């Protein structure tokens, strides 16, 4: 029974070797000559100004979360669109698939209108 898992073990070992070997090779073969320029923090070519721990406005995170939410919901449309032709060929599934997608899009629109009405998309 355990001999069935041997290929999996070999695959895991090969994966670990491929992941660890470049790191160890880089540590052994790469030159290590640190100086003050290499050890200084890089801030886009400018000297660091201000505190790096400044707080972001909550609206930034809200818009980012809304973008991810609607982006993922649109990603659910892709599988439906790829099999749309097969859906329309079957009479019993044709209307079910169409109505199902209309309900999904209606939920998307309601969520979008709600976010808009609450002012989540306004940036002052």
- pLDDT tens per residue across span 46-61: 666 777 677 777 778 8
Rg (CA), the chain: 27
Q: What angle do CA 45, 51, 57 make, to 5 degrees?
A: 105
Percent of the chain with pLDDT over 90: 25
Residue for token digits 């790469």? 30
Q: How far apart are CA 19 and CA 14, in angstroms?
A: 9
Segments making up each domain of the chain, as ranges: 2-39, 58-117
pLDDT tens string 67-92: 888 888 888 888 888 888 888 888 87
Residues in the chain, total: 124
pLDDT of 46 reads 67
């Amino acid at each position: 029974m355990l001999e069935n898992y041997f290929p999996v073990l070999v695959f895991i070992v090969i994966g670990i070797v491929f992941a660890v070997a470049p790191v160890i090779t880089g540590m052994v073969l790469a030159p290590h000559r640190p100086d003050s320029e290499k050890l200084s923090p890089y801030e886009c070519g400018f000297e660091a100004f201000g505190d790096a721990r400044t707080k972001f406005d909550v609206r930034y995170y809200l818009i980012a979360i809304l973008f991810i939410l609607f982006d993922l919901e649109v990603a659910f449309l892709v599988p439906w669109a790829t099999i749309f032709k097969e859906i329309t060929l079957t009479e019993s599934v044709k209307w079910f698939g169409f109505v199902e997608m209309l309900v999904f899009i209606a939920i998307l629109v309601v969520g979008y209108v709600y976010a808009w009405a609450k002012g989540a998309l306004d940036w002052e």
